[in-house]
Amino acid sequence: KAGVTQTPRYLIKTRGQQVTLSCSPISGHRSVSWYQQTPGQGLQFLFEYFSETQRNKGNFPGRFSGRQFSNSRSEMNVSTLELGDSALYLCASSLGLAGGGETQYFGPGTRLLVL
């Protein structure tokens, strides 16, 4: 069974631009969660989608948004990029809701650099 895939793997943008990242979960998994990882803040939860609905959201500004499609693939979008958005963005998939005790399977991440 193929693992979680994320595209692109690396991305360079400038301040003010917007970016869209994609995550394809493991086949059959209905939950996709997104995380931001920075050296200063560590791993932080962005949001979780399950059956095309956002179920949980972390403490991030509205510039961070996402969606999930009927095939469970998910995208996250960051608008008006700031330097502080430079980070590794990870997605993880699970059969059920992540907080319900399900094991999450992580993708390799997208490394975003904002100049």
Partner 1 sequence: KNEVEQSPQNLTAQEGEFITINCSYSVGVSALHWLQQHPGGGIVSLFMLSSGKKKHGRLIATINIQEKHSSLHITASHPRDSAVYICAVPGTGNQFYFGTGTSLTVIP
Residue numbers of the site for partner 1 (CB under 8 A)? 33, 35, 37, 42-45, 48, 55-58, 88, 90, 92, 97-106, 108-109, 111
User: Measured from the CB of residue 103, what is the shortest distance to partner 1 in angstroms?
Assistant: 5
Closer residue to partner 1, CB minimum distance, 38 or 80: 38
User: Measured from the CB of residue 90, what is the shortest distance to partner 1 in angstroms?
Assistant: 6
CB 68 within 8 A of CB 32: yes
With b for 16 or more beta-carbon neighbours within 10 A and e for fewer, the 91-102 pattern comes to: bbbbbebbeeee
